[in-house]
Amino acid sequence: MLHRLRRAQVLPHAVLVVGVLISMFPFYWSIVLATNTSRDVFRYPPRLLPGSHLVENVHHVLDNIDFFGSMLNTLIVAICTTALVLFFDSLAAFTFAKYDFPGRNVMFGLLMLIFMLPAQLSIIPQYLIMVKIGWVGTLQALVVPAAVNAFGIFWMRQYITRAFPDELLDAAKIDGAGFLRTYASVCLPMIRPGLAFLGIYTFIGSWNDYIWPLVVLNNPDKITLQVALAQLNLGAGGALTDYAMLMAGTLMAVTPLLIVFTLFARGFVADLAKGAVTG
């Protein structure tokens, strides 16, 4: 293969391959640690190849935390949040993009202003609200505040403005379709790629969310994967720590999302970059 590349291409590929190796190495190393015994972790020189103790380490993880329970919680939260965000954000975005109702620009300006507020300003009162309404330790405490967001509305509005021609709106009107009907049967089918992007984006964000679940989930039966992982890590402070078990837990927590990402996110990376550069 190499002779077919022009000579000028050898150096860039060499640099890029080094970059890929650095990007991927931590994953390889977590596999190495998770498949060897915890005694091997301390061995010098260290083992550089995967071992055969994965199953035993996974068993230790399952003894220590309710891994599948917390994964189920994470899945429930991520799926509910994503579904709600897709519905509410696209509906609001469609309205902002295609209807010239009184006060539209003021409302949209307000939305952008809100978007710029940093999260830690509202965490304490949000927690106090959750205490007051008895949602501390429940999953709806994660889903409901995240059910609609300024970023998604902003992004979808840009998308719909470009992807959805005004003529279609007029055609729908002439056919006698009302607002909700137009949204559901004309707009939604047209913006599927945009929904896919926002969906993947929201799902990943929700799956990896940490500070808010850490604050609001105090019930050991109802924690998310990230919080469970942090607890596993916190419990691992002592001298006789089972580091192989800790790594197995880490590996188990990141693998599902990575599989989902590599399978479904072909255009996702390009979209994210395009959004950040072109206006």
Segment 145-184, which members bind other proteins (CB under 8 A)? 145, 147-151, 153-155, 157-158, 161, 166, 169-170, 173-174, 178-180, 183
Write each residue from 225 to 264 as x if it is in contact with other proteins (CB under 8 A), else as -, in one continuous string. xx--xx--xxxxx-----x--xx--x--xx--xx--xx--
Cβ-based neighbour number of residue 212 at 10 Å: 18
* 219 part of the interface to other proteins, by CB under 8 A: no
* SS3 of 54-109: HHHHHHHHHHHCCHHHHHHHHHHHHHHHHHHHHHHHHHHHHHHHHCCCCCHHHHHH
Q: Does 12 bind other proteins (CB under 8 A)?
A: yes
CA-atom Rg of the chain in angstroms: 24
CB-nearer residue toward other proteins: 105 or 185:
105
Shortest CB 269 distance to other proteins, Å: 5
Whether 89 and 191 have beta carbons less than 8 Å apart is answered as: no
Does 136 sit near other proteins (CB under 8 A)? no
Nearer to other proteins, 60 or 151 (CB): 151
Residue of 75, 76, 108, 196 that binds other proteins (CB under 8 A):
108
> Could you give the CA distance from residue 250 to residue 230 in angstroms, rounded to a whole number?
10
Between helices 54-64 and 67-98, what is the axis angle to 10°?
80
Q: From the CB of 237, what's the least distance to other proteins, in Å?
A: 4
